[in-house]
Amino acid sequence: MRPFFLMIKTELGKTYEVADKIAELEIASEIYSIAGEYDLLVKFYLDQEQDIGRYMSDMFQKVSGIRETNTIITHHVF
């Protein structure tokens, strides 16, 4: 399994709604509310052969209220 993180900027007032929907779908390992430019930090795990781009595209079709994202792909854990 390889982890990656997604920083999510939600539509105004939709942070908790988006977080709840992601939690209901059981597609994320951890979901954090954060301060700053983005509203949520979400940790995902995918199998090595899974395509991150397709996974993200499929997720966005299921979750409304997401305005912008920044994907962080990890390389090595210490």
Task: Check which CATH number belongs to the domain holding 18 and give it.
Answer: 3.30.70.920
Sign of CA dihedral 33, 70, 47, 51: positive
Structural domain containing residue 24: 2-73
| In-domain check, residue 50 | yes
**Number of folded domains that form the chain:** 1
| In-domain check, residue 30 | yes
18 or 78, which is more confident? 18
| Res 61: pLDDT | 80
| In-domain check, residue 78 | no
| Res 36: pLDDT | 96
Residue with tokens 């397709």: 54
| Res 1: pLDDT | 85
Nearest to 74 by CA among 19, 29, 10, 21: 29
pTM: 0.89
| In-domain check, residue 40 | yes
| In-domain check, residue 49 | yes
What is the spatial distance between Cα 42 and Cα 74, in angstroms, rounded to a whole number? 13
Main-chain dihedrals φ then ψ at residue 70, nearest 5 degrees: -140, 115
Mean pLDDT, rounded, of the chain: 92
| In-domain check, residue 16 | yes
Write out pLDDT tens, residues 58-73: 877 889 999 999 999 9
Residue 10 pLDDT grade (very low, low, confident, very high; cuts 50, 70, 90): very high
